[in-house]
Amino acid sequence: MLGRSLCKYLAKVNFDVVVHGFQNEADIMIDLLDSLAVHEALDRIQPDVIINLVCLSDVDRNEKDQNLAYQLNVKTIENIVSWVKLRAAKTNLIQISTDHVYDSEGINKEHNVVFRNVYAATKYCAERVALDANAAVLRTNFFGKSEIEHRLSFSDWIEVQLEEKLPVKLFGDVYFSPLSLETLVKMIAHVIKNFKSGIYNLGSRDGLSKAEFAHTLAKYSGKNRLVSTEISVDDIGFSAVRPKGMLMDVSKFEKTFDISLPTLDAEIKTHLEGEKDNL
């Protein structure tokens, strides 16, 4: 979902983008679990920058199939890193990670790691692998208009409920600091241009509960009133335990890359304005 929007934006701002795919048509189509295929493809392309977005994003499936979680979340980046290290630091690596590695009260700095599920643990392992090649690791969460027909983002789902006037159940005890896709792709481009290795929280400057986020989106959209019931994430029988406290302190990113990140309230407005512009 992020990859589609990111590739479009990077091409728009004049990066020479080569897209990898496995099941979907792309510029190169290889199995990233095949180290030889990875090395041969990267030898041909000789990229200045690699952005790795590959992961098993279904949190419950990670729990049910831990071998697949390792293969997609860790083994893929191991193969990429082995090639980058052979290049003697001529290629910058950006690893896209997740706010699921947090679950604490208050705002989390980069060292406040807590694992609640296999997804978080394997994504953290992937970070450690990427750092072995002096990567920039971006822990993030996002919302916005999905360009993949069969996949909805959280904000897409809320807007569908608004349009259809359907009652919804919302988590009042899950807090996060996402960015809009519109802002996130720009921030990744900023990292490419001003590359510095390390681990960085990349989100909004504050955050909301998922219930508060939904009601704020509904309010600014001006479409309909959101009819909802507030529940706990513990009330749902997920296979994997979900973290609740994923608010991120983004000051390290702001200081390192000399940029100010927006509030979540402002990001919701940015998203809705972008939707209006695309009508």
Structural domain span for residue 15: 2-277
CA distance 266 to 248: 16
Identify whether the C-beta of residue 162 lies closer than 8 Å to the C-beta of residue 223.
yes
Q: What is the pLDDT of residue 26?
A: 87
Query: Which DSSP letter does residue 242 get?
Result: P
**Cα separation, 137 vs 118, whole angstroms:** 19
Burial class of 115 by CB neighbour count within 10 A (0 to 12, 13 to 18, 19+):
middle
Please give the pLDDT value at position 151: 80
pLDDT for the residue 279: 46
- CA atoms of 164 and 142, how far apart (whole Å): 24
pLDDT value at residue 87: 79
pTM of the model: 0.94
Here the CATH number for the domain that contains residue 234 is 3.40.50.720
Query: What does the pLDDT read at residue 133?
Result: 96
* Burial of 256 (C-beta count, 10 Å sphere; 0-12/13-18/19+): middle
Phi, psi of 200 (to 5 degrees): -135, 135
Position 232 scores a pLDDT of: 97
Domain count, the chain: 1
Res 166: pLDDT: 84
Q: Where are the beta strands (DSSP E) in 149-215?
A: 168-171, 175-176, 179-180, 198-202, 208-209
Rg (CA), the chain: 19
- Return the sign of the alpha-carbon dihedral for residues 204, 210, 216, 222: positive
The answer to whether residues 30 and 22 touch, using CB atoms and an 8 Å cutoff, is yes
Structure confidence at residue 152 (pLDDT): 83
Measured CA to CA in angstroms, residue 237 lies from 17, 61, 174, 234, 268 at distances of: 41, 14, 15, 7, 29
Q: Which amino acid appears at position 7 of this protein? A: C
The residues of the chain scoring below 50 in pLDDT are 279
Amino acid symbol at 29: M
